[in-house]
Structure 1
């Protein structure tokens, strides 16, 4: 199968390596061009997979999409909307698109863009990427772990099982279909952890003081994260979803024994450094607040549910960062009142 990978940070090239290792061919494209700098005809890979992988570096997106039988989009959350708007006119009828990971309700944005062009394609929303990776150099990628399982939803919802099978064939890890795209948005357990850490370490972040995420998971920070997570789980239950609690998700992701969160922190810290963000750059909080907590508040409001601690966390972070963090461009043109129908069927053609 020929896969087009749109995004050349860490996850995109690492996913390309996985796909090549399973016999697929890959074209790799960087939205800004810099991501593919230093990559020739091959990628070097270290970690759980070692060796080289042949890829075709595309100078423009149309070449990346040429003859593609599937498309993987893996870009930062603040770049996802612009990238989807840029590539939608070039996507081919019926070719599956996988968002790794999906942010907010991005699959519905892409579906609306395609509907406006009179086209349709199944869109997969991964709750997390299928791997953990870091970009070591221009053509060197380190894959530190493969996920034990990834949750995936789809628009239209009925396509989830087929897209789960497709993703498993491409990347070789198990995928579990979710009922709808809201489930994928609620499965973002990292959002509560990032928000709690940002509140507790705001002065370190502001002063660009090096700090380690796992070392700063103190009992107090863990209590805040657990209470934020309880509100996420309550919302998910009210919307008919069973999502993975934060400690269980971290145990699976890091291969440590599940325990009270603050006890797990020491085991995760022993696995190596996990540097925290430096500087009050709002993009650091985009995934956790803009496309995480703030989205959940919108969903809760539409349902008539209160999430007082989540609302307070968003307000405190906006005050600390001195900027609005709730503007979600991925919800453009979306009528939340029509959400159940849109998730099930997509936008009308």
Structure 2
């Protein structure tokens, strides 16, 4: 298949390597064009780590160009860039195409569904609970893929298109997907925001000083316990809504191939195996600037709608807003555009299954 990937960071590059390794053809689009400049001249994309090889993805010059030449579109950039790229590609998406969010955040799938409904277009919109790969970009033409996950949770909007959504994902990325049924389950399946909250709070001075430090090693017992408590809040909301989602122990086991233990111990195992990853070397990191407004804020909103407040998540939003002197709640352009606060829980749950209806 011809696959268009929106983004040019570590996840986009790692995903491109995985897709081409599976025998498909990739085109990358960086909205700024800066990150893909070298690849556009013919240089190879070199992957190392869990994926090894040299690949030659094409480079698109615009969202229109990307949509016109691909069958599948993968959104693989930070959530604060989702609305802008969805606005750019939505006018050019056809009913024959499929869009995959790697990974999904803040009901971006509903925002795309609404954009397409105004054009009378319905397609499978697949939301992943996390990315298929983790890694770090080493240069404009190279990426270190830390791991390829054994299992990725997904859901398709509308649910009537679930069979097609799952089949395409398996064809492109291998048999590593579990369909969780509907988008609300996926909204509560992305563990990055809660995990990154605890890691960033526990290591903020390292980040501000620009230190080089092992993330896995520094998920110490107290940081690990905070991650476990944050996870309990998320699981409580999912349980209240009757949803089946993975817990943090399953997440680390399936993502990083370590035996189930305490979260701190699992991270120490990752560090010992050389798979603990490096923590952010700046406070200007997506662990905060993406995951607080587009992750913690969303979970907190769902918790309030469900009558199951996520008090630690709410506290994290306020603490980070104070530390950064920013109102992170106001920075989520997806939730603010969808006006989630004006919806009832039943209305939101219905949209998560069916998407927006095409106007008669």
Tell me the TM-score normalized by structure 1.
Answer: 0.93
Map 1:32-51 to 2 at 5 A. 32-39=32-39, 40-41=41-42, 42-51=44-53
Match of 1:125 in 2: 127
Match of 1:318 in 2: 321
2:339 is the alignment partner of 1:330: no
Give a deviation string over 1:115-162, Cα, whole Å, max 9, x none.
122322211101111122332233223333221111111111232332
Counterpart selection for 2:177 from 175, 178, 182: 175
What is the Cα deviation at residue 334 of structure 1?
4.0
What runs of 5+ residues in structure 1 fail to find an aligned partner? none
Q: Secondary structure at the match of 1:12?
A: helix
Distance 1:51 1:310, change over 3 A: closer
Match of 1:63 in 2: 65
Distance 1:116 1:245, change over 3 A: same
What is the Cα deviation at residue 79 of structure 1?
0.9
What is the Cα deviation at residue 282 of structure 1?
6.7
CA distance in 2, matches of 1:253, 1:301: 29
CA distance in 2, matches of 1:88, 1:285: 28
CA distance in 1, matches of 2:76, 2:89: 13
Hey, which bits of structure 1, 4+ residues long, moved more than 4 A? Answer: none
Q: Secondary structure at the match of 1:119?
A: coil
Distance 1:22 1:279, change over 3 A: closer
2:84 is the alignment partner of 1:82: yes
Which deviates more, 68-77 or 35-44?
35-44
Does the CA-based 8 Å contact 1:202-1:320 persist in structure 2? Answer: no
Q: Secondary structure at the match of 1:154?
A: strand
Give a deviation string over 1:22-56, Cα, whole Å, max 9, x none.
23222221111122122144433333333333322
Does the CA-based 8 Å contact 1:132-1:144 persist in structure 2? Answer: yes
Give a deviation string over 1:83-105, Cα, whole Å, max 9, x none.
11121112222411001111121
What is the Cα deviation at residue 320 of structure 1?
1.9
Counterpart selection for 2:138 from 136, 140, 143: 136
Match of 1:249 in 2: 251
Give a deviation string over 1:290-329, Cα, whole Å, max 9, x none.
1222111111111222222222222222222221122321
Does the CA-based 8 Å contact 1:282-1:325 persist in structure 2? Answer: no
Match of 1:277 in 2: 280
What is the Cα deviation at residue 168 of structure 1?
1.0
Match of 2:289 in 1: 286
CA distance in 2, matches of 1:27, 1:291: 27
Q: What is the count of residue pairs matched by the alignment? A: 349
Match of 2:357 in 1: 348
Does the CA-based 8 Å contact 2:75-2:100 persist in structure 1? Answer: yes
RMSD: 1.9
2:23 is the alignment partner of 1:27: no
Which deviates more, 49-58 or 103-112?
49-58
What is the Cα deviation at residue 20 of structure 1?
2.2
Does the CA-based 8 Å contact 2:207-2:283 persist in structure 1? Answer: yes
Give a deviation string over 1:208-227, Cα, whole Å, max 9, x none.
34433222211111111111
CA distance in 2, matches of 1:233, 1:106: 22
Q: Secondary structure at the match of 2:328?
A: coil
What is the Cα deviation at residue 230 of structure 1?
0.4
Distance 1:207 1:140, change over 3 A: closer
Does the CA-based 8 Å contact 1:93-1:121 persist in structure 2? Answer: yes
Give a deviation string over 1:169-192, Cα, whole Å, max 9, x none.
011242111221121121111222
What is the Cα deviation at residue 283 of structure 1?
4.2
CA distance in 2, matches of 1:198, 1:99: 25
Match of 1:306 in 2: 309
Does the CA-based 8 Å contact 1:74-1:100 persist in structure 2? Answer: yes
CA distance in 1, matches of 2:266, 2:272: 10
Counterpart selection for 2:213 from 192, 211, 214: 211
